Amino acid sequence: MIPVNAIIKEVIKETPTISTLKFDIKPDAIPGQFVMVWIRGVDEIPMALSHPNGITVQNVGDASETLSNMEPGDSIGLRGPFGNGFELSGQRIMIIAGGVGAAPLLPLAHQLRLKGTKISILLGAKTSKELLFEEQFSRSGEINVATDDGSKGYHGVITGLMDTYDLNSFDMFYVCGPEMMMRAVLDMLHTNSLESISQFSLHRYFKCGIGVCGSCTIDPSGLRVCKDGPVFCGNILLNSELGKYHRDVTGKKIMF
Amino acid sequence: MIPVNAIIKEVIKETPTISTLKFDIKPDAIPGQFVMVWIRGVDEIPMALSHPNGITVQNVGDASETLSNMEPGDSIGLRGPFGNGFELSGQRIMIIAGGVGAAPLLPLAHQLRLKGTKISILLGAKTSKELLFEEQFSRSGEINVATDDGSKGYHGVITGLMDTYDLNSFDMFYVCGPEMMMRAVLDMLHTNSLESISQFSLHRYFKCGIGVCGSCTIDPSGLRVCKDGPVFCGNILLNSELGKYHRDVTGKKIMF
Amino acid sequence: MTYPELSIELTGLEMNNPTILAAGILGTTGASLKRIASAGAGAVVTKSIGAIPEQGHPNPSLVALECGLLNAMGLPNPSYKEFNDELMTAKEGDIPVIVSIFGSCCEEFCEIIEGLEGADAFELNLSCPHSQQYGAAVGTDPVLVEKITRAAKTTASVPIWVKLTPNVTDIVTIGEAASRGGADAVVAINTIRGMAIDIYSGYPILGNLYGGLSGAAIRPVAVKCIHDLYRALDIPVIGVGGVSRWQDAVEMMMAGASAVQIGSAIYDNFTVFSEINEAFLTYLISRDLIIDDIIGLAHRRVEQ
Amino acid sequence: MTYPELSIELTGLEMNNPTILAAGILGTTGASLKRIASAGAGAVVTKSIGAIPEQGHPNPSLVALECGLLNAMGLPNPSYKEFNDELMTAKEGDIPVIVSIFGSCCEEFCEIIEGLEGADAFELNLSCPHSQQYGAAVGTDPVLVEKITRAAKTTASVPIWVKLTPNVTDIVTIGEAASRGGADAVVAINTIRGMAIDIYSGYPILGNLYGGLSGAAIRPVAVKCIHDLYRALDIPVIGVGGVSRWQDAVEMMMAGASAVQIGSAIYDNFTVFSEINEAFLTYLISRDLIIDDIIGLAHRRVEQ
Ligand SMILES: Cc1cc2nc3c(=O)[nH]c(=O)nc-3n(C[C@H](O)[C@H](O)[C@H](O)COP(=O)(O)OP(=O)(O)OC[C@H]3O[C@@H](n4cnc5c(N)ncnc54)[C@H](O)[C@@H]3O)c2cc1C
Ligand SMILES: Cc1cc2nc3c(=O)[nH]c(=O)nc-3n(C[C@H](O)[C@H](O)[C@H](O)COP(=O)(O)OP(=O)(O)OC[C@H]3O[C@@H](n4cnc5c(N)ncnc54)[C@H](O)[C@@H]3O)c2cc1C
Ligand SMILES: Cc1cc2nc3c(=O)[nH]c(=O)nc-3n(C[C@H](O)[C@H](O)[C@H](O)COP(=O)(O)O)c2cc1C
Ligand SMILES: Cc1cc2nc3c(=O)[nH]c(=O)nc-3n(C[C@H](O)[C@H](O)[C@H](O)COP(=O)(O)O)c2cc1C
Ligand code: FES
Ligand code: FES
């Protein structure tokens, strides 16, 4: 599959560093799947679908900056949707989102809500202005926020917020956020023997995005984040490289 | 499509020069379609399917001789079925078969019979021993034979036999046989203004068999015998090269 | 139908549209070429014609694979003497008829050119991958390519196109040789050497044992060759190899093709010429583009 | 699973079966290579490793076309120094691990060989079509190929395989050079130069503008190369290019391959190794054949 053309219809500034781009096509995706976004002449990068017809981009470098600065009428190339996506299950579930990690979790919350699932959302960010999709999430369930600087909600990391819940009353945990936050959440779930009812959406360096090149594989399973993931069950990740190291574009291990 | 392997199950000597080979596979064909028969190490030649799982070969040269001498257990490669095949229509139809031209007409007679069509068969050959499928045809309708040497039935060419029928009482004519016989039949039908309710199965030199190379095209329409044919309506053939010339393997015109 | 938006001038030939029948596909007879003209081609190239009659290779001479066609026709042709009649008939189609010719030396090419007066242009087949002494046998040697092109150009009063083989380390070297020899255009690409084996018996499937791969399988290879030739040469590049949809034609033009030839796609779709032209017209009109905007666009994008 | 019928010895390496993971596909980490071992491969080849870390080309670096994959990874690798760890992990898979290596001169190849002691064999990548100074840049020159092969052979205590590019006028010349240099086997083929252009924008799709075509599209080309190399050389030919079904593996072996590598097919089917091996086993048993009966069979058929 070669990239399909998508024309930007709308750009929504979500936070000082994060924007949502809506385009003229709706890839037929399930929550948690991603697209490879080709910014012509610049780069191609993976992005979760945060909306049926949209992505939500944090400006962290070259490609994401060019994307963030796009205007309606500009166009990009899209390959996908790729990856496994979340498995929708559970009656009483918890969504744990950190930073731009909220992106793949928003369509998940919408779909679970439609199924009548009871949802608790824990939303974290560095500071209150960077909280992503707070309003949208709150329409799908009960929401609780945490900020590193205490500018809103719980002051501290998201695992602190988790402590205020009876985790055993949930039957599925959906998690996406910065690597160290995901590791902390996983460890906490593990302490409660809950890792096997959790799903984590991972980030690794993608080149092909379709399971061929091997740049995104994780240790020790050798699973491909782009094809076997990006969503993995917590028990697969427990003894994995998650939170220890990842590999850079050359394949070299980089410690967190 | 590359050749599929077919194992010869049975060899039936039909006449001194003609044999039927039955194989272990049944190409999904309609009457009048052909297969490209690959005699490995020798040649690949077109052959009508005379049976759901068989062809009927006249020994006229290298490849057909090797084929004729095959025994059960031997194998060939088959590509196909190819070509348009006969259009099955008519309530009261005439089948006109000359020599090995009876091959594509036999499954046609069977199928029309099943539809309850009233069938007259005119079967011609050089001599009585070379009459092909006489018994099989007689099960599908009324049959009348002609031999060049008068050794059986009508003494003379098949158009002589046609003269003994009220051609206007038929609503479709199906014809296959030597080129000059088909031309004579076409002319006779034309005299009676019946060429537009006739179907002729043609022979031309085939290389690709799938409508790409152009070696089998006929004048002046440029139609491909292998793909647009081998069956053509009489009115398309009326002002064609039929009976005048054909082209050899180099593409050179050869007069009949 | 003629649309001004699709009309082009190519090496002096006026064409209704930029799609051309490729050599060796349905190009045996004049009637067949006329039929392709009616089907909407902007021009037709005949089967490759030589100095003496050739039977070609034994059958099987063409098979369809999952991806593309594999053929070893072996240049069957009745010689130029017999072909004059067909050429006259083909010209009734009222579109340019380019005669593809092959030979083993300059003299042979010139003899054929002189013997086929009606041709609107000649395409020198220096690229057939499965013929012993013709085609790619000469087409891989830049010195020969230049020499033959020059001889043909001197003899002919009509444009000379030179068809290139991709079965070389560097196609640009060969294209440059053709250009130096005075070619009016290069045509890229001929088929890629390939082979298929029957796993039931172990026999190579083609009568000639191996042949040339064409169709969708080779399009990316053709696009790359066209791209490189466009950058290096000042004469038009005519694209061929795996075009079956309008998108493919646009892609080739963006790589640098002034027009595209279509061969194998006929296998699935006889109406491929008119379909491509209609969709291409819609593409141009809806984007307010003219053909020249897209020819070589990929090069301009990268320079930006 | 180990079946005696499928076991082979290849350049001194014992393999459970004749299917090998091709270089550059899922060969970045030791864990990934182990996973391929569990999936049934008889041996694995790593991603090509160089002397210094390489980022590779910008994305897009791989796209799937209708027919085959087009890639320009650009040999990203962390250098042999970082790769030793991965190699140690890969070897836990208990099948031969062949390390693919690339360099621009003899010294570089030798440095890498000396730096990777655990390799069961080395595959010299003299054939990557989209890397400026490595790969095919050296692999199209028979003199360089012979020299590098000889240097590698002298340095290494394990077998040396030489991987060839099809992007040359005559692959046999290059194969012969490798053989003269002392190669234990040749591997054919690497990808074919190709390119794809985005028709919406005119931009070449790959970050590197062009790349290499692999997958089903190139199988007939690979079969032809293998066929020609088998006839010309006395060392084993390892087949690669477009194998995705057991029939493809058999076809390549009939052309002359002693074993087959599988790359792009992983895209659709992670279980391709075990599927091919199981079906291949059934094929052999049901026809009462051993592997040696089919290797090169196409040549024996034609000689008859
Ligand atoms: C499955 C998946 C889903 C993602 N979803 C989102 C999302 O919804 N919103 C969002 O803002 N970000 C998302 N990301 C992260 C996003 O891909 C990176 O932020 C982006 O690639 C940065 O590119 P850049 O050129 O702007 O930054 P650069 O300056 O090139 O790099 C900054 C960092 O971004 C990461 N990165 C760069 N290129 C890639 C690549 N090809 N693949 C993976 N990571 C890369 C690396 O960690 C790098 O260190 C996702 C990543 C993955 C793997
Ligand atoms: C659509 C079609 C259906 C046919 N069905 C039958 C059939 O059911 N039974 C039957 O006995 N014959 C059939 N034929 C004719 C048969 O193909 C030829 O008799 C056969 O090809 C002869 O090959 P050979 O090598 O034995 O003879 P050769 O000595 O090679 O040639 C003898 C003559 O056979 C013809 N011929 C040879 N090769 C070909 C070819 N590739 N394509 C077409 N004609 C060729 C030529 O007229 C040639 O002059 C059919 C032909 C066509 C086109
Ligand atoms: C059956 C067949 C016959 C061909 N004969 C010729 C020929 O006579 N001369 C020639 O220059 N090219 C010949 N070619 C090559 C085509 O003209 C064309 O270059 C090639 O097939 C790639 O285009 P395609 O993918 O559109 O078919 C032939 C190709 C096929 C499939
Ligand atoms: C994504 C990708 C990366 C590749 N990387 C390498 C490489 O690093 N070294 C190498 O020698 N070949 C490399 N190749 C070529 C393959 O090893 C193989 O020769 C080619 O893809 C043909 O086989 P296939 O059709 O089975 O994929 C790569 C191919 C692909 C698709
Ligand atoms: S990015 Fe290539 S395998 Fe995942
Ligand atoms: S035999 Fe090739 S077109 Fe009919």
* CATH number of the CATH domain containing A33: 2.40.30.10
**Of D224, D157, D225, which Cα lies nearest the Cα of D188?**
D225
Residue A87 is assigned to a structural domain of this protein: no
The continuous run of DSSP H or E covering D223 comes out as helix D219-232
Residue B87 domain flag: no
Q: In terms of Cα–Cα distance, which of D245, D252, D247 is closest to D222?
A: D252
- In ligand 1, which atom is closest to the CA atom of A103? 8
Q: Does C301 touch chain A (CB under 8 A)?
A: yes
Cis upstream peptide for A230 (omega within 30°): yes
β-strand pairing of B172-176 with B92-98:
parallel
How confident is the model at residue D182, as a pLDDT? 98
Within this chain, do residues A239 and A124 fall inside the same structural domain, yes or no? yes
Q: Are C279 and C261 in contact (CB under 8 A)?
A: no
Task: From residue B145, give the alpha-carbon distance in Å to each of B133, B151, B170, B240, D60.
Answer: 11, 10, 18, 28, 72
The b-or-e profile of C18-39 (16+ CB within 10 A means b, else e) is bbbbbbbbbbbbbbbbbbbbeb
Selected residue of C199, C203, C250 to mutate for chain D interface (largest D Cβ count, 10 A): C199
The H or E element spanning position B18 is: strand B18-23
Predicted confidence at residue A88, as pLDDT, reads 95
Residue A187 has pLDDT above 70, yes or no: yes
Residues A78 and A104 occupy one common structural domain:
no
Q: Are strands B54-58 and B18-23 parallel, antiparallel or unpaired?
A: antiparallel
Mean pLDDT of all residues in chain A? 96
Residue type, C197: I
Across the range D234-250, mean pLDDT stands at 98
> Does residue B116 share a domain with residue B212?
yes
How far apart are the C-alpha atoms of C199 and C203, rounded to whole Å?
8
Choose one of B37, B60, B82: the last residue of a domain: B82
The verdict on the CB of residue D48 being under 6 Å from ligand 4 is yes
Percent of residues in chain B assigned helix, strand, coil, to nearest 5: 25, 35, 45
- Give the closest-approach CA distance of C62 to chain B in angstroms: 5
B110 shares its domain with B214: yes
pLDDT given at position A211: 97
Query: Are both A65 and A131 inside the same structural domain?
Result: no
Which positions of C are catalytic?
A: 128
For chain D, count helices (H), then strands (E).
11, 14
Show pLDDT as tens, one digit a residue, over chain C (304 residues). Answer: 678 899 999 999 999 999 999 999 999 999 999 999 999 999 999 999 999 999 999 999 999 999 999 999 999 999 999 999 999 999 999 999 999 999 988 999 999 999 999 999 999 998 766 555 665 678 899 999 999 999 999 999 999 999 999 999 999 999 999 999 999 999 999 999 999 999 999 999 999 999 999 999 999 999 999 999 999 999 999 999 999 999 999 999 999 999 999 999 999 999 999 999 999 999 999 999 999 999 999 999 997 6
Residue to probe by mutation, ligand 5, list A35, A202, A221, A227, most atoms within 8 Å of CB: A227
For residue D14, is pLDDT > 90?
A: yes
Q: What is the pLDDT of residue C16?
A: 96
10 Å Cβ neighbour count for A239? 10
Q: How confident is the model at residue D128 (pLDDT cuts 50, 70, 90)?
A: low
For residue B182 the two structure tokens come to: 């088909």
A18-47 as b/e: b if 16+ CB within 10 A: bbbbbbeeebebbbbbbbbbbbbebbbbbb
Q: Write phi, then psi, for A88 (nearest 5 degrees).
A: -85, 110
Nearest in space to D178 (alpha carbons), one of D130, D214, D126, D107: D126
How far apart are alpha carbons D71 and D50 in whole angstroms? 19
Pairing, β A142-147 against β A75-82? unpaired
Amino acid C136: pLDDT: 62
pLDDT beyond 90 at B34? yes
Per-residue pLDDT, averaged over B248-253, amounts to: 96
Strand arrangement of the beta sheet that strand C62-64 belongs to: C62-64, C69-71, C211-214, C192-194
- Find all residues with CB under 8 Å of B66, minimum gap 6, and list them: B39, B42
Among the partner-chain residues C85, C203, C264, the one whose CB lies closest to the CB of B41 is C203
Q: Which two tokens stand for residue D106?
A: 């003899």
Answer whether B10's CB lies under 8 Å from B53's CB.
no
pLDDT the model gives residue C254? 98
Which ligand has an atom closest to residue C24 CA?
Answer: 3
Domains of chain C: total: 1
Phi, psi of C278, rounded to the nearest 5 degrees: -65, -45
Q: Do B3 and C59 lie within an 8 Å CB cutoff?
A: no
Check if the beta carbon of residue B230 is closer than 8 Å to that of residue B34.
yes
With cut-offs at 50, 70 and 90, classify the pLDDT of residue D303: confident
Q: How many domains does chain A fold into?
A: 2
Of D34, D62, D79, the CB nearest to A222: D34
Measured between beta carbons, the chain C residues lying within 8 angstroms of D250 are 199
Ligand 1 pocket at CB < 6 A? A 34, 43, 45-48, 50, 55-58, 60-64, 100, 103, 203-206, 230; D 59
- Cβ pair D178, D142 in contact under 8 A: no
Q: How far is D103 from chain A (nearest CA, A)?
A: 16
Ligand having the closest approach to the CA of B84: 2
CATH assignment of the domain containing D200: 3.20.20.70
Min CA distance, C36 vs chain B (Å)?
A: 9
Please check whether residues B134 and B199 belong to one and the same domain: yes
pLDDT in tens, D152-188: 999 999 999 999 999 999 999 999 999 999 999 999 9
- Kindly list the residues from chain A whose CB atom is less than 8 angstroms away from the CB atom of residue C301: 40-41
CA C125 to each of CA A142, C21, C104, C171: distance values in angstroms, whole numbers, following the listed order: 74, 15, 10, 15
Residue B147 and residue B129 in one domain: yes
Instruction: Name the closest-CA residue to atom 3, ligand 3.
Output: C24
Do chains D and A have 3 or more beta-carbon pairs under 8 angstroms?
Answer: yes
Partner-chain contact C66 D216, CB within 8 Å: yes
Interface residue D231 vs chain C (CB under 8 A): no
- Rounded to a whole number, what is the distance in Å from the CA of A53 to chain D's nearest CA? 19
User: How many CB pairs below 8 Å do chains A and C form together?
Assistant: 3
Residues A39 and A129 in one domain: no
B98 belongs to a structural domain: yes
**Residue D150 near residue D125 (C-beta atoms within 8 A):** no
Q: What angle do CA D228, D231, D234 make, to 5 degrees?
A: 120
Distances (CA, A) of A32 to C299, D203, D219: 37, 29, 36
pLDDT, averaged across chain B: 96
Q: Determine the residue type at D259.
A: A
> Is the model's pLDDT at D304 over the cut of 70?
no
| C-alpha–C-alpha distance, residues B154 and B122, integer Å | 10
Torsion-angle region of C12 (φ positive above 0: left; ψ -120 to 50: alpha; else: beta): left
Q: What is the pLDDT of residue D134?
A: 62
Question: Whole-angstrom Cα distance, residue D95 to residue D86?
Answer: 15
Model confidence pLDDT, tens digit, residues A96-128: 999 999 999 999 999 999 999 999 999 999 999
Q: Does D143 touch chain C (CB under 8 A)?
A: no
Structure-block tokens of residue B70: 């095959």
Same domain, A29 and A132: no
Question: Do residues A72 and A162 share a domain?
Answer: no
Looking at the fold, whether A77 and A98 belong to one and the same domain comes out as: no
What is the β-pairing status of strands D121-125 and D160-164?
parallel
Which of ligand 2's atoms lies nearest the C-alpha of B65? 26
Average pLDDT in the D120-147 region?
A: 81
- Structural domain span for residue A45: 4-82
The yes-or-no verdict on residue D246 having pLDDT over 80 is yes
B40 chain-D contacts, CB cut-off 8 A:
301
> Ligand 6 center to residue C62 CA distance, Å?
10
Two structure tokens written together for A222: 């050798």
Q: What 3-state class would DSSP assign to D133? A: coil
pLDDT (mean) for D51-73: 96
Q: Provide the residue type at C8 as one letter.
A: I
Smallest CA-to-CA distance from D217 within D73, D99, D69, D95 is with: D69
Question: Which helix (H) or strand (E) element contains residue A154?
Answer: strand A154-155
Residue B35 Cα, ligand 1 centroid: separation in angstroms?
A: 56
Residues of chain A with pLDDT > 70: what percent? 100
Beta B75-82 vs B34-39: how paired, if at all?
A: antiparallel
Domain range for D46:
4-303
Strand partners, B173: B94, B198
Q: How far apart are CA C122 and CA C101, in angstroms?
A: 7
Whether B208 lines ligand 6, by a CB cut-off of 6 Å, is: yes
Q: Of A20, A50, A82, which closes a domain?
A: A82
Residue of A nearest to C300 (CA): A41
pLDDT at C3: 85
- Residue of chain C whose Cα is closest to the Cα of A42: C302
In a domain, B18, yes or no: yes
CA distance D14 to B98: 64
Q: What is the pLDDT of residue D212?
A: 96
d(CA D159, CA A97): 51
User: Residue A192 maps to which CATH number?
Assistant: 3.40.50.80
> Are residue B27 and residue B133 in the same domain, yes or no?
no
Per-residue confidence band for D3, with pLDDT thresholds at 50, 70 and 90: confident
Taking chain B, what is the end-to-end CA distance rounded to the nearest angstrom? 34
ipTM value of the model? Answer: 0.96
